[in-house]
Amino acid sequence: MKKLLLIAGGALGIYLVIVLLIAVFPAIDLSGTPAGPGVKPLTALQAEGRTVFVANGCSYCHTQQVRPLDEDKVFGRPSAPGDFAWQTPELLGSERTGPDLANVGASKPSDVWQYIHLFDPRAVVPESIMPNFKFLFHVVDQVPLGETAVPIPAGFAPATGKVIPTRQAKALVAYLLSLKQTPIPGYVMKGSMGGVTSAAPMAKAEPASAAPAGAYQYVASKGESLFTANCSACHQATGMGIPGAFPPLKGNAAVDAADPTLHIRTVLQGAHGVIIGGVKYDSAMPPFAGQLSDADVADIVNYERSSWGNHARPVTPTEVAAVRAKGP
Amino acid sequence: MQAGAAAPRAIGRADDDHALTAVFTAYVTTATIWLVIATAVGLLLAFKFGAPDFWAAKYLTFGRLRPIHTNATFYGWASIGLVGVAYYIAARSCGTRLYSTRLAWLGLALFNLAAIAGTIALDLGYNDGDLEYREWPWPIRLVFLAALLITGWNLIGTVLRRSSEDIYLSNWYTIAGVLWTCVIATVGVLPWYQHGLGQVAISGFYMHNAVGMWFTPLALGTFYYAIPKILSRPIYSYALGVFAFWTNLLFYPLLGAHHFLFSPLPWWLQTTAIVFSVAMLVPVWGGSANYLLTMRGRYRDMIHSYPLMFIFVGVIGYLFGSTQGTVEAFRSMQAIWHFTNFTVGHSHLTMYGFVTFALWGGIYALLPLATGKTAGRIGLAAHFWMALVGSFIYVISLSIGGTVQGLDWVHGLPFIQSVVDMQPYYVWRGVGGMLMFGSHLVFAWNVWRMTSGQPGNAASPVLDASTTAEATA
């Protein structure tokens, strides 16, 4: 009896102390983390969308945490403690079979894109291995009043009928679009790896407009890579866009114009409700000024101006800097 | 008078043996059913990486099946199987009957009830926040906790009945493992400190402690009983086993936050986790050395004993998997491997290469002793080699693929490139998975032979000294 009490009781007692110190007490402390500037609780519809997100296990392939590492910059700024004040359950995730979603509401702000992508991910990202979520949509012969049909590209649309989102799909998209990082002035992640290790290349990010003008040389492969990472989800690798949803870049007057100002400004500042080739596009294009340097923007613009039969003159980072300086 | 008392005692002992065998058999059988279900789902999931539109309907979508696979493996297969082995070891090593057969049956019913209800709930979309390994809705997790409490009560009661003064080391591990897991389950379910980032801290704690303070101690307890039993020789060092027990307790609980390196969790919490991930080398190497030194000089006997082969692989899986875990925990390594399929490879090296092989070894070594029936050598061989080769392919392909994935990100390629680059490794993972699943069907057949088949003529899993290398040397 005494021996068993010593072993079992001792093991249990020590464990309890450790658990309180390493898990429960820190958790009590962290549960009180105040919300960061501008971080708001979800609306009822967004919260409903989060339950759809959770029920279908989205976080098994998508993280919602941006690390203070160079490789994560593409997903946004490093996540801050205040970002998670309203996030219960926490959906930080553990795998990136698909991209991080911490800032997806800002990087993919178009609900139409989200609907098409959920209905059939391969309609907008041919190489995607995300399952389709067609069960979140109805196919109807006649679009009911107050509903809008999703413009599914030909080849991915059902043979007959129109695709409309269910309430669950609407809630899910409302949630996804709510995932926007709020700016934190002067935010520097305290725990950045700085100097701790050299395994990950920690090249200092060049300030937005520091690239010396003379040093720039357009490399097509870099332009294509940046285009793939930032633009092709909507405008497509073919430059054809998605009819009725996202405008083509091929033969696009702004892209193929001699004066690159509008083209550059659109990449930097985004666009909404523009008319291209007589068609009005309601989808919002996000601004890229915050995450792409002048040289990156020049690479993308030059790639677009020299692909798919476009033949406009190349631009330099200096020109991008000039448009950037003028602001929106 | 004395003779008169001895006869009923003998009959009583036969009844006790019978009851213990029935309990052990039932735990192993239901665990085996869960293994087959869970890994059939796993195989389907592996297939979906190459064919994402295959069976993409609501109740078959990847995100619902994935937690079904992990939870059914954890709480169906491994938990129920290890508890069954723990009961057998407790009764036999203490030279007594179970404290309560009825409680053992009740525990089994609750374990299975929780696993069935949890599986159905997840498929219907009732997922408790995608929080890994605690996705079952909390009332269902309370059922699991009740099963744990009953198990702990019953194991302690059994050990209290022991005939010797000493408590055999296996029981330290199994009893402590059950008690620790009661704490883990309770901490995981209480809501008051789990808001936002607070919940992240609990997730890190939970997901690693549920593995390392539950499956690890029960599997190690199985090693400590099965290896000496098979080889008919004592464990190399009892003191080293005790040392590994206490160091495991002191170091393991502290390393959970290494799942959230570079996250907004406090930096000190992450660093603590890394430090103790390194400290874990002490109990891991100490424990592994103890098992390997017990087998020293008898490695050739593995030719005679597939149970010993399974256990040997389990020990190597423990040594490699845990050491790999330490290496992975460094920030420099996490910068490449975190979020990649390397982690999936690691979790299979440990849950499969270590825990599952250990459990198989325990079942093959001990179940025939309880039932008097053995699985044939061909069945054992087919199971062993398919599982071993399958898991090699699985782990190696995902380790390479995960590294490629991580380097793609470090090199700043468009994200979709990492998806494209993973494709061949996903295919190889599926090939490995198919072999693993096939081996589970053979295992199910072997379990049937060990429980319901004819009393076997095959060799006993316990190596008789006269047939072994030691005797002939």
Same domain, A234 and A178: no
Domain coverage including residue A265: 214-326
* pLDDT for B16: 87
Mean pLDDT throughout A277-288?
88
**Residue A143 pLDDT > 50, yes or no?**
yes
* Nearest Cα to Cα of residue A323 among A299, A285, A294: A294
Domain boundary, last residue among A130, A158, A182: A182
- Predicted confidence at residue A274, as pLDDT, reads 86
Q: Provide, as residue numbers in chain A, all residues whose Cβ is less than 8 Å from the Cβ of B175.
A: 4, 7-8
Quick one: A298 and A238 in the same domain? yes
Residue B466 has pLDDT above 80, yes or no: no
Provide mean pLDDT across the span A9-37: 96
Please determine, for residue A63, whether its predicted confidence score (pLDDT) is greater than 80.
yes
Q: Which residue of A has its CA nearest to B174?
A: A8
User: Rounded distance, CA B265 to CA B267, Å?
Assistant: 6
A163 with A224, same domain: the answer is: no
Instruction: Name the residue of chain A whose CA is nearest to B409's CA.
Output: A71
Reported as a single tens digit per residue, the pLDDT across B283-306 is 999 999 999 999 999 988 888 899
Q: Between B56, B198, B213, which is nearest A27 by CB? A: B198
State the Cα–Cα distance between residues B283 and B401, nearest whole angstrom: 30
Distance in Å, alpha carbon of A25 to nearest chain B alpha carbon: 8
In this model, does residue A272 exceed pLDDT 70?
yes
Residue A202: the pLDDT is: 40
Q: Do A46 and A174 reside in the same domain of the chain?
A: yes
Clarify whether residues A100 and A149 are in a common domain: yes
pLDDT classification of B456: cutoffs 50, 70, 90: low
Contacts of A70 in chain B (CB under 8 A): 410, 412
Listed as own residue / partner, the contacts of A15-20 with beta carbons closer than 8 Å and 24 or more positions apart are A15/B176, A15/B179, A15/B180, A15/B183, A15/B213, A15/B249, A15/B253, A16/B183, A18/B249, A18/B250, A18/B253, A18/B254, A19/B183, A19/B184, A19/B187, A19/B205, A19/B209, A19/B253
Are residue A225 and residue A176 in the same domain, yes or no? Answer: no
Lowest-confidence range among A200-204, B14-18, B242-246, B363-367? A200-204
Q: Are strands A279-285 and A271-276 parallel, antiparallel or unpaired?
A: antiparallel
In a domain, A197, yes or no: no
Q: Does ipTM exceed 0.85?
A: yes
Q: Residue A73: inside a domain, yes or no?
A: yes
Q: Chain A residues with CB inside 8 Å of B412's CB? A: 70-71, 74
Please say whether the beta carbons of A89 and A222 come within 8 A.
no
Whether A128 sits inside 8 A of B205 (CB atoms) is no
Number of separate domains in chain A = 2
How far apart are the C-alpha atoms of B320 and B349, rounded to whole Å?
8
Write down the pLDDT at residue B80. Answer: 98
Average of per-residue pLDDT values in chain B: 94
B403, HSE (Cβ side, Cα atoms, 13 Å): 8
| Residues above pLDDT 90, as percent of chain B | 89
Q: How far apart are CA A249 and CA A262, in angstroms?
A: 13
Q: What is the mean pLDDT of residues B25-49?
A: 98
d(CA B96, CA B159): 8
The alpha carbon of residue B286 is apart from the nearest alpha carbon of chain A, in Å, by: 19
Q: How far apart are CA B219 and CA B359, in angstroms?
A: 7
User: Is residue B458 very low, low, confident or very high in pLDDT (cuts 50, 70, 90)?
Assistant: low
The residue-averaged pLDDT of B391-400 equals 98
Contacts of B49 in chain A (CB under 8 A): 129
Q: A257 or B457: whose pLDDT is higher?
A: A257
Q: Specify whether A176 is located in the same domain as A261.
A: no
Within-domain flag for A11 = no
Give strand pairing partners of A246.
Answer: A242
* Statement to judge: residues A285 and A233 lie in one domain: yes
Q: Do A84 and B200 count as a contact with CB atoms less than 8 A apart?
A: yes
User: Do A38 and A144 share a structural domain?
Assistant: yes
User: Is residue A207 pLDDT above 90, yes or no?
Assistant: no
Mean pLDDT over B360-378 rounds to 94
Q: Which residues of B touch A86 (CB under 8 A)?
A: 196
% of chain A at pLDDT higher than 70: 91
Question: Average of pLDDT values for A37-46?
Answer: 96
Residue A102 falls inside a structural domain: yes
Indicate if A178 and A220 belong to the same structural domain. Answer: no
Where residue A232 sits, what CATH number does that domain have?
1.10.760.10
Q: Report yes or no on A2 lying in a domain.
A: no
- Asked if A27 and B129 come within 8 Å (Cβ–Cβ), the reply is no
pLDDT average, residue stretch B177-201: 97
Q: Does the pLDDT of residue B358 top 80, yes or no? A: yes
Show which of A162, A182, A202 is a domain's final residue: A182
Q: Is residue A310 part of a domain?
A: yes
In a domain, A103, yes or no: yes
A284 bridge partner residues = A272
Residue A203's pLDDT band (boundaries 50, 70, 90)? very low
If asked whether residues A254 and A300 sit together in one domain, one would say yes
Whether the Cβ atoms of residue B114 and residue B141 lie closer than 8 Å to each other:
yes
**What is the distance of C-alpha B263 from the center of its chain?**
28
- Band (B470; pLDDT cuts 50, 70, 90): very low
B263: left (phi over 0), alpha (psi -120 to 50) or beta: beta
Residue range B307-324: mean pLDDT, rounded = 97
Whether A53 is in a domain gets the answer: yes
At A68, the pLDDT band (50, 70, 90 cuts) reads: very high
pLDDT at residue B457 tops 90: no
